[in-house]
Structure 1
């Protein structure tokens, strides 16, 4: 497959490298990517043991392509929506995950504006982007070992449509501090003009579960009451900032969008607030899983390149090696348990769930314990989830975290949930929260370590056998 350029997902950098910064050649972009990796401390991903560009892949898009090649799957072209509907169905991505972003954040930026935003869809493993009257469907698909893999599908009717992997220059956008230094995804909140362009020298924010509400979703449409507390559904108004304000990266005033989008041009007329809340959590959770995976493999490879798959006990490793593994694992643990999550401010949870098909469908897929509780149950009053532990703990990417890092995360998680660790980072976890999360995991998560099984047996708790995730037809 030929190399293809891929834009930053839900970020402003694609604009800064094209419309604002001028056109940059393929060679210059590739060189910048390599310099960034070498000089800015980003995780080395191209060479052993990661081999990001050459390792065999088992991500959902790669597996779908194999089925297409074998004639076991088919994509159907629709004259109005191209391959989008067929791609979403083939990858089991719900249409009701639709969110709309009107900042010019795709290489198809000339077709993105406030009246024609880009539509984004996702499930636990795949992100899909579609531009109105665009010529390409953009995809990010998570491989259990390699993390974010970038694909493009030409949205022109073809006898044999092919997902083409984006190579080389995609990493100049997709490896950044906002992705934790690994190939990854991020949401960025910006100050957009009425045309969707970035307002020069204004603040930009990475959006995740810890972001203040008033810094979220600039350049996005948001359907729901929570939008009133954010930068959503607005554009910069008034005269441009003077040079002093620009130099200080001052925040310009935001006002109504003059020419909003035509809902009839999209699969749904909404940009779901619950889908955006979950998306903000999931994107950085994916990045932290990848970071923990990469750093563990790199640390063990540095000790013995001839045995990259060895899994020694953590406490037998040299202290610097232990630190290299523990640092990202501790970050992952805290994010997994929503440490530092920004309160939602007392929203009407019943109304939010009633008005969100995404919320109802997402929760219905949850694995449930004997008390019918699931990590996919929503709170939406003061926090995103009723039981604050990430549902991505069930993902194949989490399961693929190499030892001893995965064992360390599980050990620390058990310490927190059983109350052995009551440090300030976990202060918002009440005892009922901890007990509920512990019970849900013990009853629904296969493959728990022996330490967890011993705890469950000692406390007469039901242990997971082989629970199946419900499917929504």
Structure 2
């Protein structure tokens, strides 16, 4: 059985930084108790970094892939998770094009980005308290031991923007580009929306897989003045072989599986939501404690107003967990890699063999619409008062007490199934 443990995430599609003059004091993630830049990270890559520096681990260099294979092995990231993006929206944009796309590999909370011929591998790792933490591995001197270096300000120009909820997070964009990979703005185009309906997704990405008559924006290179419409067949869909665009033999896998892309988008969105929820709650609790000092000790006593805000944060997080607004499919989808099988095998499974990782791919992406990231360290280390509020709301929805329209996608059977899975697989939930 293949494993997919918790680990890290790489820069998805990074827009070039335009510069920023914001002072650290104005940034919520640099305030107490977060103090992002000054705090020691405990994410999986930070652990690997310590092991490399101590000599306990030596990353092996490969003449073709550099340190990539060794990194994926150490971080336990499956090759089947590979996706390929050809828009020049990364730190190493000069190397990216449809002929030389950027490969991204990931597991539950680690993402590694690699470009053929690049001197640097980029990594982004999700820390339970800090959010996304960024690293690079230099490949320019293969005879020297690998060094894993943490990065802060340069990455945060883009990775702490409105796209990430103003917290250190991840970006997965849908960007129209030309045949060189440069960003284009067609005069009559669908507004790219990486988290929206299928027909507005994956501009600037290669996409392999079958999806019937449904359309997407992957595999497209746009000339200036071209009209782009989701209703037009550009010959870019239902592609199973990407070799007509680039040399697939340069990569660990020939695929950029649409099933992987769908799971990746969910995970990126959820990680950002978890970090935003965590930071907002921790800052509020910290300030409340400051305002209610007793005997020289901080007492985290929330006011009535604070508890209302905490409930609002919890509701938004529950909506994300239960996939409110999830993409709807009009026809079944199928990928081209082993990812779907690899992913579903990871569990945990309930007594009937069901897992939140089971994929549907007929009408929706996930068979049981509750995020598997509920098992993550990032979720478990949310402030206790926020966790309590989340579990209350989640129970109310799954019990059928909260039947508001936004949860209409959850049938009574789906609610019962999710509840049964959580009671069997999530001890913190079943103990309440």
Q: Same fold (TM over 0.5)?
A: yes
Whether the 8 Å CA contact 1:178–1:206 is kept in 2: the answer is no
Q: Distance in 1 between matches of 2:297 and 2:349?
A: 34
Q: Are 2:65 and 1:81 equivalent residues in the alignment?
A: yes
Number of the residue aligned with 2:13: 11
Alpha-carbon distance change, 369 to 309 in structure 1, aligned in 2, over 3 angstroms: farther
Asked if 1:58 is matched to 2:42, the reply is yes
1:109 alignment counterpart: 93
State the Cα deviation string for residues 53-87 of structure 1 (Å, max 9, x = none).
11121101000011112222120000011000110
Note the 1:29-428 alignment, pairs <5 A: 29-31=19-21, 33-34=22-23, 38=26, 44-156=28-140, 157-200=142-185, 204-208=191-195, 211-226=196-211, 229-237=215-223, 239-240=224-225, 255=234, 260-305=245-290, 317-348=302-333, 352=334, 355-428=336-409
Q: CA deviation at 1:206?
A: 3.9
Between 1:362-371 and 1:166-175, the stretch displaced more is 166-175
**How many Å separate the matches in 2 of 1:309 and 1:292?**
25
Partners of 1:12 and 1:90 lie apart in 2 by 25
- Residue aligned with 1:196, SS: coil
- In 2: Cα distance, 1:133 partner to 1:195 partner: 17
TM-score, normalising length from structure 1?
0.81
Alpha-carbon separation, structure 1, partners of 2:91 and 2:235: 26
Q: Structure 2 CA distance, aligned partners of 1:234 and 1:79?
A: 32
Give the paired residue count: 411
TM-score for the superposition, normalised by structure 2:
0.88
Change (3 A) 1:253 1:385: closer
Higher helix share: 1
Cα distance, 1:300 vs structure 2:
1.0
Partner secondary structure for residue 135 of structure 2: strand
Question: After the TM superposition, which parts of structure 1 deviate over 4 Å for at least 4 consecutive aligned residues?
Answer: 201-204, 249-259, 306-312
Match of 2:5 in 1: none
Gaps of 5+ in 2: 1-9, 237-242
Contact 2:113/2:122, CA 8 A, preserved across alignment? yes
- Tell me how far apart the structure 2 counterparts of residues 86 and 280 of structure 1 sit (CA, whole Å): 25
RMSD: 2.8
In the alignment, is the contact (CA less than 8 A) between 1:296 and 1:402 conserved in 2? Answer: yes
Whole-Å separation in 1 of the counterparts to 2:232 and 2:424: 50
Residue 301 to residue 273, structure 1, CA distance change in 2 (3 Å): same
Structure 1 residues 309 and 175: alpha-carbon distance in aligned structure 2, compared to 1, 3 A threshold = farther
